[in-house]
Amino acid sequence: MTSGHQTPAAGSGQPGMAGTDAETGQAVMAAWQTLGPLMDLVTPMALRVAATLRLADFMPHDGTGEGAVLADLAERAGAVPEALARMLRHLVQHGVFTEPCPGQFAANQTAALLRTGQPGAVWLDLDGFGGRMDLAFTGLAHTVRTGAPAWEQVFGQPFWAYLDANPAIGASFDATMAVDAGNAPVADGYDWTTVRHVADIGGGTGTLIAQVLRRNPWLRGTLVDLPETAARARHYLAGLRLDGRCEVVGQSFFEPLPVGADAYLLNRVIHDWDDAAASAVLRRCREAAHRTGRVLVVESHGIAGGDPAAFAEMNLRMLVLTGGRERTIDDYSALAAGAGFRVTAVHDITERHVIIECVPV
């Protein structure tokens, strides 16, 4: 195998066509220069392996003039020195890590993002949910050919069943969602003064409802999630001394929900599901909300607003993982109507997300 992405040689056409061949060759080269950054899997996988092995944790920061010796680094990471060196030198050429002297490596500002506790370490770790989520895309052709999620083909079980059967990945999923929760805009982006009791449906480990309760001391809360996640939520809320104000219920949100809350919060839950399942969740909220409750759906703006590129990527991601989808505001309004709600307001909270307020009809 030769190195790099090969490009067709220019000037190999028929005699007398040199000018045309040169122009064609230049066009082909330009096309490959465009495709090259899009088609490279070497660097993204090297980055993920570096995060998985926690290499940045074992290195001094670049600028000290020193680096971690390769043999020591390989021993701490559980890697083969020569293979590790090849990968690190590739990443050095792409601006991740430095080699201040031969055989020693340091973490520059970019590599520091891979240290434990940083978002990069959470999202890129191949042994955790973030890395598994990306590996699901090795089954993208299956999704495109069949319309079915690739997750089951790649990992042998549907998404939610896999998390349930693999507690470590389930816990990593909860942690990843907590890192990416964007809780403050939700907690601050809605007027909670008319609410006395809020139910966070599919509330994960409790990071969102904790912020809502702490900012609004008159509120009581209920969090609903599957039993193992609910157990983590109880521990988290107790650590913040909020357990006295928030009941935690371990169950599926496809089952009848706790009744009587003033507001039922669905924070980026509906996009996980196809229309039939999403409607079922909303109908459960409608049953529990009675005539006076409301549902607050936190989702992306849709194509009509926000970032179209982010919308397109997430729309594909949801299909590959769970069979879910991103939706426009009109789509959510139609789902709400089918479940017995009408949309009364749409509150912009970030460039990407809105709160869609729904009341029973």
- Encode 232-254: b = buried (16+ Cβ within 10 Å), e = exposed: bbbebbeeeebbebbbbbeeebe
**33, amino acid identity:** Q
State whether the Cα torsion 146-152-158-163 is positive or negative.
negative
Reported in sequence order, the residue ranges of the chain that DSSP labels E, i.e. its strands, are 68-69, 98-101, 104-106, 197-201, 220-225, 246-250, 263-267, 294-300, 341-348, 353-360
Secondary structure of residue 165 in the 3-state scheme: helix
Choose among 313, 263, 269: nearest CA to 289. 263
Q: Exactly one of 271, 290, 301, 347 is catalytic; which is it?
A: 271
Q: Rounded to an integer, what distance in angstroms lies between the CA atom of residue 260 and that of residue 276? A: 25
State how far Cα 292 lies from the chain centre. Answer: 34
Helix and strand tally (H, E) in the chain? 16, 10
Strand partners, 104: 69, 101
Beta-bridge partner residues of 358: 295, 343
CB 301 within 8 A of CB 131: no
Exposure letters 73-98 (e unless 16+ CB within 10 A, then b) = bbeebebebeebbebbeebbeeebbb
How do beta strands 220-225 and 68-69 pair? unpaired
Q: Is residue 61 annotated as a catalytic residue, yes or no?
A: no
Q: CA–CA separation, 349 vs 209, rounded Å?
A: 16
Residue 56 is classified by DSSP as G
CB burial of 204-229 (b: ≥16 within 10 Å; e: otherwise) equals bbbbbbbbbbeebeebbbbbbbbeeb
> 338 to each of 210, 261, 275, 286, how far by Cα in Å?
31, 21, 10, 11
Catalytic residue numbers, as ranges: 271
